[in-house]
């Protein structure tokens, strides 16, 4: 009972933790098959990307990314990409890097498919934005570790569960910035298009989306960075990739192994960040 001191968690007046646990147990008992079906497209996409990237000889992805960096960002990023991926290959982390890249690409793909339409709806409807905003606030401020227990119970462990946790964590930025981009389009441009007889779809497709594209791409860049930041956390529920050596290093107090995995993550993040920014600026 409350006697002027703090109430211990196990003696709380409102048993919220028990209600949440009971709710998750109810979902697992009644809808586990549904959640197993939901994860199928994520699993198929991730498996396809991971298999394709790991099947290629290491020099082909290095050459492709170097050429992309040269085309969109110039010689400096091309040289940095070449040296960084060569270092990663020499460190024996090539397979883990390709697995991480597949997880990030799969997460960003699903974030785009889900997030851009939701952002467009929020940009065109203040009521929907008011409903969506607290949900996004909760998704962005809830600690990432909190996602892991229900994710494991509903989707089991492994790379697919890691990607689903990453999608939940990385989804808000692309929704928010898509909404912002749509709202930043000058109303006079929309009115002019409507005055010339454009339908709502034509206004959206030919006026609002092209003008909002730089902001949407900035949201995509933020989503990529947040997806990479989940790599280590996702490794705690059995996801492979570059998070595995970091987690293994932490468990065995092997500073070197953890540092090597961290360096590879940083190099990959810098390359993807600079490359996507350069593509957005073009």
Q: How far is CA 6 from CA 10, 15, 17, in A?
A: 12, 15, 17
> Which of 236, 98, 239 is CA-nearest to residue 159?
239
Task: Name the residue with higher pLDDT: 27 or 7.
Answer: 27
Predicted pLDDT of residue 253: 82
Predicted pLDDT of residue 162: 85
User: Rounded mean pLDDT of 30-57?
Assistant: 87
CB 108 within 8 A of CB 223: yes
User: Rounded mean pLDDT of 4-20?
Assistant: 72
Measured CA to CA, the distance from residue 230 to residue 4 in angstroms comes to 41
Taking only the tens place, the pLDDT of each residue in 200-231 is 888 888 888 899 998 999 889 899 988 888 87
The tokens of 140 are what? 């962005």
Angle value at C-alpha 264, between 44 and 140, nearest 5 degrees: 65
User: Rounded mean pLDDT of 247-256?
Assistant: 83
Predicted pLDDT of residue 280: 76
Predicted pLDDT of residue 10: 65
CB 50 within 8 A of CB 102: yes
3-state secondary structure of 3: coil
Taking only the tens place, the pLDDT of each residue in 65-97 is 999 999 988 899 999 999 999 999 898 889 989
User: Rounded mean pLDDT of 44-53?
Assistant: 90
- Residue 12: pLDDT over 80: no
Predicted pLDDT of residue 5: 62
> Mean of the per-residue pLDDT values for the chain?
86
User: Rounded mean pLDDT of 16-42?
Assistant: 84
Predicted pLDDT of residue 247: 82
3-state secondary structure of 239: coil
**CB-based contacts of 124, cutoff 8 Å, min separation 6:** 182, 204
User: Rounded mean pLDDT of 45-55?
Assistant: 89
Measured CA to CA, the distance from residue 245 to residue 239 in angstroms comes to 11
Taking only the tens place, the pLDDT of each residue in 128-183 is 999 999 998 888 888 877 878 888 888 888 888 888 888 988 899 999 999 999 99
Measured CA to CA, the distance from residue 227 to residue 69 in angstroms comes to 21
Predicted pLDDT of residue 4: 56
Percent of the chain with pLDDT over 90: 26
Predicted pLDDT of residue 241: 82
């Amino acid at each position: 009972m409350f006697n002027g001191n703090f109430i211990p968690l196990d003696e709380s007046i409102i048993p919220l933790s028990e209600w949440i646990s009971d709710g998750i147990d109810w979902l697992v008992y009644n809808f586990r098959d549904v959640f197993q079906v939901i994860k199928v497209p994520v699993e198929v996409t991730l498996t396809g990307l991971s298999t394709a990237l790991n099947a290629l000889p290491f020099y082909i992805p290095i050459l492709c990314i170097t050429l992309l960096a040269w085309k969109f960002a110039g010689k400096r990023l091309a040289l940095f990409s070449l040296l960084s991926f060569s270092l990663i290959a020499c460190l024996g982390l090539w397979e883990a890097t390709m697995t991480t890249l597949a997880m990030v690409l799969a997460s960003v793909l699903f974030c785009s498919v889900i997030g851009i339409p939701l952002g467009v709806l929020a940009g065109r409807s203040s009521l929907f934005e008011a409903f969506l905003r607290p949900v996004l606030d909760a998704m962005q401020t809830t600690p990432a570790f909190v996602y892991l227990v229900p994710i494991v119970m509903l989707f089991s462990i492994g790379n697919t569960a890691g990607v689903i946790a990453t999608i939940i964590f990385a989804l808000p930025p692309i929704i928010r910035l898509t909404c912002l981009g749509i709202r930043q389009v000058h109303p006079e441009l929309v009115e002019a298009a409507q005055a010339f007889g454009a339908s709502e779809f034509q206004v959206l497709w030919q006026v609002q989306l092209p003008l909002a594209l730089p902001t949407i791409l900035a949201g995509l860049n933020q989503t990529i960075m947040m997806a990479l930041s989940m790599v280590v956390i996702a490794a705690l529920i059995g996801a492979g990739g570059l998070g595995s050596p970091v987690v293994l290093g932490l468990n065995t107090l092997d500073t070197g192994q953890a540092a090597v995995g961290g360096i590879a993550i940083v190099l990959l993040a810098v390359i993807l960040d600079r490359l996507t920014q350069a593509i957005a600026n073009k």
